[in-house]
Amino acid sequence: MHDTRPLLATDDFPAIFRKPLEIIQINLGYLCNLSCVHCHVNAGPKRTELMSLETLEQVLHFAEQADIHTLDLTGGAPEMHPHFRYLVKAAHSKGIKIIDRCNLTILEDPHYKDTAEFLAEHQVEIVASLPCYLEENVDKQRGKGVFKDSITTLQRLNKLGYGQADSVLRLNLVFNPQDALLPPEQNSLELAYKQHLQQQYGIVFNRLFVIANMPIQRFGSQLVSQGRFDAYLQLLRDHYRADNLDSLMCLNTISIDWQGYLYDCDFNQMLAMPLAARSKTHINELTVDMLNGAAIATAAHCYGCTAGQGSSCGGALEVKHC
């Protein structure tokens, strides 16, 4: 696996600083039932890194003390973590919103078959990856049979109330480009998704989030091996928009890795870039005062979040969503 970190070093990205902390994004580990080519975490079925119960409890304690309103659970497949349900129950009991970044297919696995009902019971918001509404494209990017399992899962989630207009159960889908391209305009693509999925499969959902592929880990290594890494970075730079700086998710979010160490965002985590101006910091050392107004660590990949319409784990930055 190529290391893209030296290629991402830069000192020309504008300085950005933290606003009040609202969201904690937790990477529960790299274990996943899929090995998607665009995965910036390099997750897969053979990964063994998983957050300990002790660290989970430290995160919960900090979230309660800091009055955090959202825990954003990612991986790997978060649902495969042995203490996933404990974490969801504990957060729900404290009135903390939970987002589950789900690959959909895991909910069809016999070992996790009742997980969809569990998520609905605890009003977990699902953000689900569906990089295209066409079977051929999805299977090419994520593996053979993934599209059919995803459709089956979406239909089951709809029956539970997810994505319905009169339901509190939110179901959002995520689009990633198939190649080293910027994502298309979010609103028009969302309309196309909704029309196709409704007409072909009877599926409804709330929002579509378009997210740019980051040139790190598996996708970055693929670009390096193809000799296209520099061209993709230049594409991101050429489409930089300063207006996006005020909406970046790193301004009000911190990212925690499976060992409990802190980063300004999930992408910095994958590049082992700790909080700016700090040595490696663990969740059990963190105080809110350490974050307020602090500088955010940046590098060339940050142009991926500021290019064009902007990109974050909540989709295009120009689009306001709750």
pLDDT digits (tens, 9 = 90+) for 99-128: 999 999 999 999 998 999 999 999 999 999
Residue 41 lies in a domain: yes
Residue 55 lies in a domain: yes
Average pLDDT in the 261-266 region?
94
Q: Which residue has the tokens 């996006």?
A: 244
- Residue 296 is part of a domain; what is its CATH number? 3.20.20.70
Lowest mean pLDDT of 37-46, 94-103, 163-172, name the range.
37-46
Residue 181 lies in a domain: yes
Residue 259 lies in a domain: yes
Give the single-character DSSP code of 244. Answer: G
Looking at the DSSP assignment, which residues form a beta bridge with residue 215?
Answer: none
Confidence check: pLDDT of 269 > 80 = yes
Contact between 282 and 258 (Cβ < 8 Å): no
Looking at the DSSP assignment, which residues form a beta bridge with residue 50?
Answer: 29
Confidence check: pLDDT of 320 > 80 = no
Average pLDDT in the 182-193 region?
93
Cα 41 to Cα 298: distance, rounded to the nearest angstrom: 18
Residue 321 lies in a domain: no
Contact between 98 and 26 (Cβ < 8 Å): no
Overall domain count for the chain: 1
- Percent of the chain exceeding pLDDT 70 equals 93
For 219-258, the pLDDT digits (tens) are 888 888 999 999 999 999 999 999 999 999 999 999 999 9
What is the pLDDT confidence band of residue 4, given thresholds at 50, 70 and 90?
low
What is the pLDDT confidence band of residue 319, given thresholds at 50, 70 and 90?
very low
Identify residue 71 by its one-letter amino acid code: L
pLDDT number for residue 310:
87
Cα 282 to Cα 284: distance, rounded to the nearest angstrom: 5
Which helix (H) or strand (E) is 253 found in, with range?
A: strand 253-256
User: Which domain does 211 fall in, by range?
Assistant: 5-306
CB neighbourhood size of 126 (10 A): 26
Nearest to 106 by CA among 175, 172, 153, 148: 153
Residue 250 lies in a domain: yes
Residue 53 lies in a domain: yes
pLDDT number for residue 7:
63
pLDDT number for residue 38:
57
Task: Please state the pTM of the whole predicted model.
Answer: 0.91
Residue 101 lies in a domain: yes
* Tokens linked to 159: 């029956």
Average pLDDT in the 62-80 region?
95
Confidence check: pLDDT of 23 > 80 = yes
Average pLDDT in the 8-35 region?
89
For 292-307, the pLDDT digits (tens) are 899 999 999 999 999 9
pLDDT number for residue 314:
82
